[in-house]
């Protein structure tokens, strides 16, 4: 074809075809505007009929206009991407509102019943692919990135639920609307949960909705390009679903089709939940790394699979009568667990510090100044080391549960929260062990009491009294803060107005470690001096939400190099986080200095609950990997390490412990304190000599061999016995071996005192 011919065709296209297209559109709109009835047929053929109404054109134009405006307004989310990708996705985002508008304006009716039925059935079976595209867009991947098994599994799960809703409603429209609305809502929740805490949204998170609501206003909800694209797909599916009408069937056809879909759904669900057929075939969550599982096998499938593991099943071969044998064969029976107060018991203060960690355990990096100089310098009368905790980025209460009870969340359903699900009755803990020796007990957390269901849980664990944020600030102030957006500066202004003497109370919008420790000191000085003192504190200063700055926060730490890279990118979250750690270090120094001057023997145990959720690129650089979802077991374990310190204001043996998991720490601390221990505490100490680390990743033996839970190791029997002992204490109240978990003569208290806000405020004002 010569050049002249090509130019002629191009000229014809622009001078004839395009104007003709616009004339056609113009005529369509003229017909609608001039229509006298509610609906106007714009085109009619042998198979199709196109119609529109004045209402539909107004609705379609308005909705398309709003969506175009929003896409344009958030165009910077696309411009952040690689050059080639950003324009393609941005153009798709601009075209989608136009398509949605056209589908709203024009109603296309298929005249032939057979063709109409065929179209509806084809779309019904193809729509899971569109739904999957939407959910995986929110999951941060595209369907072509998924494994073949993941693609097929997500398709089947979505189709199954379409079957379920069709069997109930008999309507294609209803089934598609419900499935897409549910999938979009859950996938959007997963998107934000991944951004905020770095781990996926799992079914157990429904039990933590109250806790999530408490911190929800501290995060940034600006929609990303994936959220924008997924939302456009969702709206497109809603519009198409509303335009669908279930084809006319005979009565017998309706009965057969609904019965078939309902029976198919029921059979597969029964096989999945009540047999191991699918699990044996590998159809189960990636328990070792849920984030990797969600990426490889998709959100819908992974979320659905996790629902099977929400309940706690009895360990294989469990027999309550054998629990005593497991313990007695492990511990040294020379000592007994009978209560014998000596009058020399030290005061014990345990602090779980929010998100405290030393990220140098992941890899080498330098900063403009040391972010934890005091903690590193602690040597005299100090036991310190690396603590392996069960969670990353969130899930504080699971580490708390392990420390207080000596149990491991590794034996609980993956992703479950022990406080929300399993602590529903009195439970043996370090609290009951110390109260059995005459200790008073007080729990303090400077945040909302509703978080992680702590008020009833602390009662079940045996605490005498508790204090929360509501005891530090008047409820009207907290309500004012919540109502006005939860801004850090606004809360600081409220504190400055109503409590002018509390200059150092806040860092960002959280109670600072410094003020937190002042409250502990105040409680200690006003304690019942007739009893030895036990306090358990969960701090709040370093909580996630590291994107935003605040005037009351000194961002003093800057990252200068990572490994051999002396000019690393600026990591905003990591720098803010390390600056918070520096503030924690300063506050802990002041707390230790105070108790150095206390005459009574006192032990302070402080540890971090988990590593923070900061830039994955920074974490990957430290670990020396390009893909944080494909880590070795050693690298994965490193992400679960936080520091711990046991310090005394009297002579104790100094030690550096390389590896210890949080389920052992309280028993180890009791041993350092020289107080009475239960048989279970002694069992844990002995077990830690063989397996110093047992966590949700796997376990590490005394010879530094790393094992995943799927490995066939020589410790299977040992692990199994530990799991059965734990099951007896938590899940088998009728056959619980109390003599193992409690000191002789101890009775759990029936009530829990919570300090009143007014009384607490008076105490605080008096102290200040």
pLDDT of residue 597: 94
Q: Scan for tokens 């157990």, then name that residue.
A: 204
Q: Is the pLDDT of residue 217 over 90?
A: no
Q: According to the model, what pLDDT value does residue 274 have?
A: 77
Residues in the chain: 768
**Contact status, residue 641 vs residue 611, Cβ threshold 8 Å:** yes
Residue with tokens 């029936």: 750
- Taking the mean position of all CA atoms in its chain, how far away is CA 745? 40
Asked whether the predicted pLDDT for residue 45 surpasses 50, the reply is yes
How far is it, in rounded angstroms, from Cα 379 to Cα 404? 25
Distance CA 240, CA 302 (A): 27
Residue 634 above 50 pLDDT?
yes
| Token reading at 62 | 């308005």
In 3D space, the residue among 719, 722, 736, 591 whose CA is nearest the CA of residue 667 turns out to be: 722
What is the C-alpha to C-alpha distance for residues 201 and 294, in angstroms, rounded to an integer? 9
Residue 82 has pLDDT above 60, yes or no: yes
pLDDT tens per residue across span 566-611 = 888 899 999 999 999 999 999 999 999 999 999 999 999 999 999 9
Q: Considering the chain, what is the average pLDDT of its residues? A: 84
Tell which residue, 606, 607, 452, 604, has the closest CA to residue 533.
604
Least confident range from 96-105, 430-439, 691-700: namely 96-105
Going from the C-alpha of 29 to that of each of 243, 373, 677, the distances in angstroms are 20, 73, 84
**Residue carrying structure tokens 């569109």:** 130
φ and ψ of 227, to 5 deg: -65, -40
Contacts of residue 433, defined as CB under 8 A and 6 or more positions apart, other chains included, come to 670, 676, 677, 678, 681, 742, 743
Would you state the structure tokens that stand for residue 307, as one six-digit string? 């629902």
- In this structure, are residues 621 and 641 in contact, taking their beta carbons and an 8 Å threshold? no
pLDDT band at 724 (very low <50, low <70, confident <90, very high): very high
Contact 666, 403 (CB under 8 A): yes
Degrees (nearest 5) of the Cα angle 324, 326, 332?
85
Binning pLDDT at 50, 70 and 90, where does residue 750 land?
Answer: low
Tokens of 118: 């065929």
Q: Which of 251-265, 400-414, 416-430 has the highest mean pLDDT?
A: 400-414
Structure tokens belonging to residue 293: 């599982």
Task: Tell me how far apart the alpha carbons of residues 226 and 141 are, in angstroms, rounded to a whole number.
Answer: 9
Average pLDDT of 497-523? 93
> Encoding tokens for residue 2?
């010569």
* Domain coordinates in residue numbering, the chain: 1-34, 35-111, 121-310, 320-474+532-551+570-767
Tell me the CA distances in angstroms from 239 to 45, 97, 125, one per residue in order.
24, 11, 17
Beta bridge partners of 511: 506
Which CATH number does 320-474+532-551+570-767 carry? 3.40.720.10
The residue among 519 and 331 whose pLDDT is bigger is: 519
Most confident of the following: 200-209, 251-260, 472-481:
472-481
3-class secondary-structure state, position 437? coil
Tens of pLDDT, residue by residue over 655-692, are 999 999 999 999 999 999 999 999 999 999 999 999 99
Task: Look at residue 586 in the predicted model and tell me its pLDDT.
Answer: 96
463, 441 Cβ separation under 8 angstroms: yes
pLDDT > 70 in the chain, percent = 84
Choice between 428 and 84, residue whose per-residue pLDDT is larger: 428
Question: What is the spatial distance between Cα 541 and Cα 159, in angstroms, rounded to a whole number?
Answer: 45
pLDDT in tens, 229-258: 999 999 999 998 888 776 677 778 778 888
Task: Using the predicted structure, report yes or no on whether residue 753 has a pLDDT greater than 60.
Answer: no
- Which range of 8-22, 119-133, 642-656 scores highest in mean pLDDT? It is 642-656
* C-alpha to C-alpha distance for 768 and 752, rounded to whole angstroms: 27
The three-state secondary structure class of 34 is: helix
pLDDT (0 to 100) of residue 87: 79
Angle, to 10 degrees, between the axis of helix 662-673 and the axis of helix 679-690?
A: 120
Output the CA torsion sign for 668, 669, 675, 678: negative
Mean pLDDT of 482-494: 84
Residue 467, classed as helix, strand or coil, is strand
Residue 426 DSSP SS3: coil
d(Cα 316, Cα 46) in Å, to the nearest integer?
67
The answer, yes or no, to whether residue 341 has pLDDT greater than 50, is: no
Q: How far apart are CA 200 and CA 54, in angstroms?
A: 45
User: Which residues, in sequence order, are bridge partners of residue 107?
Assistant: 51
Pick the closest to residue 97 from 218, 235, 243 (CA basis). 235
Those residues whose C-beta lies under 8 Å from the C-beta of residue 26, and which sit 6 or more positions away, are none
Quick one: average pLDDT of 7-22? 51
Cα(92)–Cα(90) distance, integer angstroms: 5
Extended beta strands in 328-411, E state? 347-353, 365-367, 382-388
Distance CA 559, CA 549 (A): 17
Query: Between β-strands 382-388 and 506-507, what pairing exists: parallel, antiparallel or unpaired?
Result: unpaired
């Amino acid at each position: 074809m010569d050049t002249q011919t090509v130019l002629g065709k191009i000229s014809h296209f622009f001078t004839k075809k395009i104007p003709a297209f616009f004339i056609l559109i113009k005529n369509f709109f003229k017909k609608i505007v001039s229509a006298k009835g509610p609906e106007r047929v714009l085109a009619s053929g042998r198979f199709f009929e196109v119609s529109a109404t004045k209402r539909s054109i107004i609705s379609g134009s308005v909705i398309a206009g709003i969506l175009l405006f929003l896409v344009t307004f958030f165009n910077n989310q696309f411009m952040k991407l690689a050059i080639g990708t950003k324009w393609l996705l941005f153009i798709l985002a601009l075209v989608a509102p136009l398509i949605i508008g056209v589908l709203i304006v024009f109603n296309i009716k298929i005249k032939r019943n057979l063709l109409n039925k065929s179209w509806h059935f084809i779309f019904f079976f193809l729509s899971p692919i569109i739904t999957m595209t939407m959910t995986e867009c929110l999951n941060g991947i595209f369907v072509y990135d998924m494994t073949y098994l993941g693609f097929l599994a997500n398709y089947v799960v979505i189709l199954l639920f379409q079957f379920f809703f069709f069997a109930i409603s008999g309507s294609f429209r209803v089934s598609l609307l419900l499935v897409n609305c549910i999938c979009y809502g859950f996938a959007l929740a997963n998107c934000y949960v991944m951004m905020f805490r770095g781990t996926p949204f799992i079914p157990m998170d429904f039990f933590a909705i109250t806790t999530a609501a408490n911190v929800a206003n501290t995060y940034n909800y600006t929609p990303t390009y994936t959220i924008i694209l997924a939302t456009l797909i969702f709206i497109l599916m809603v519009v198409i679903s509303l335009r669908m009408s279930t084809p006319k069937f005979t009565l017998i056809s309706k009965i057969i089709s609904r019965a078939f879909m309902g029976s198919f759904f029921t059979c597969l669900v029964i096989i999945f939940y009540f047999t191991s057929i699918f699990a044996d075939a590998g159809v189960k969550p990636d328990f070792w790394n849920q984030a990797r599982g969600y990426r490889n096998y998709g959100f819908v499938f992974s979320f659905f699979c996790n629902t099977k593991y929400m309940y706690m099943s009895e360990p294989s071969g469990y027999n309550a009568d054998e629990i005593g044998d497991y313990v007695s064969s492990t511990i040294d029976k020379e000592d007994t667990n009978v209560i014998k107060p000596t009058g020399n018991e030290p005061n014990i203060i345990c602090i779980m510090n929010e998100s405290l960690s030393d990220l140098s355990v992941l890899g080498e990096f330098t900063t403009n100044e040391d972010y934890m100089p005091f903690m590193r310098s602690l040597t005299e009368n100090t036991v310190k080391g690396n603590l392996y905790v069960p969670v990353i980025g969130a899930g504080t209460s699971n580490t708390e549960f392990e420390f207080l009870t000596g149990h491991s969340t590794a034996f609980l359903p993956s992703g479950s929260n022990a406080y929300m699900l399993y602590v529903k009755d009195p439970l043996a803990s370090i609290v009951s062990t110390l109260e059995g020796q005459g200790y008073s007990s007080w729990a303090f957390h400077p945040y909302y009491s509703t978080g992680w269901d702590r008020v009833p849980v602390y009662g079940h664990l045996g605490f005498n009294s508790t204090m929360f944020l509501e005891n530090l600030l008047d409820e009207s102030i907290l309500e004012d803060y919540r109502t006005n957006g939860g801004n850090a500066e606004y809360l600081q202004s409220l504190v400055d107005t109503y409590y002018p003497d509390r200059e150092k109370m806040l860092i960002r919008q959280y109670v600072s470690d410094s003020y937190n420790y002042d409250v502990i000191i105040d409680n200690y000085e006003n304690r019942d001096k007739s009893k030895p003192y036990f306090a358990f504190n969960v701090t709040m200063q370093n909580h996630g939400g590291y994107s935003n700055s605040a005037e009351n926060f000194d961002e003093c730490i800057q990252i200068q190099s990572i490994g051999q890279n002396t000019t690393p990118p600026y990591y905003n979250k990591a720098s803010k986080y390390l600056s918070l750690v520096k503030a924690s270090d300063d506050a802990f120094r002041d707390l230790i200095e105070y108790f150095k001057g206390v005459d009574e023997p006192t032990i302070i145990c402080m540890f971090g609950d988990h590593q923070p959720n900061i830039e994955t690129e920074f974490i990957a650089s430290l670990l020396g990997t390009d893909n944080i979802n494909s880590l070795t077991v050693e690298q994965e374990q490193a992400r679960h390490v936080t520091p711990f310190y046991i310090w005394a204001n009297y002579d104790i043996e100094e030690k550096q412990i390389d590896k210890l998991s949080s389920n052992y720490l309280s028993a180890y601390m009791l041993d350092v304190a020289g107080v009475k221990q239960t048989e279970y505490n002694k069992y844990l100490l002995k077990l830690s000599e063989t397996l110093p680390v047992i966590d949700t990743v796997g376990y590490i033996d005394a010879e530094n061999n790393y094992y995943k839970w799927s490995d066939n190791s020589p410790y299977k029997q040992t692990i199994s016995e530990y799991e059965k002992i734990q099951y007896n204490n938590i899940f088998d109240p009728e056959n619980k071996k109390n003599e193992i978990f409690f000191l002789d003569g101890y009775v759990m208290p029936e009530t829990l005192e919570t300090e009143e806000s007014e009384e607490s405020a008076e105490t605080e004002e008096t102290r200040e």
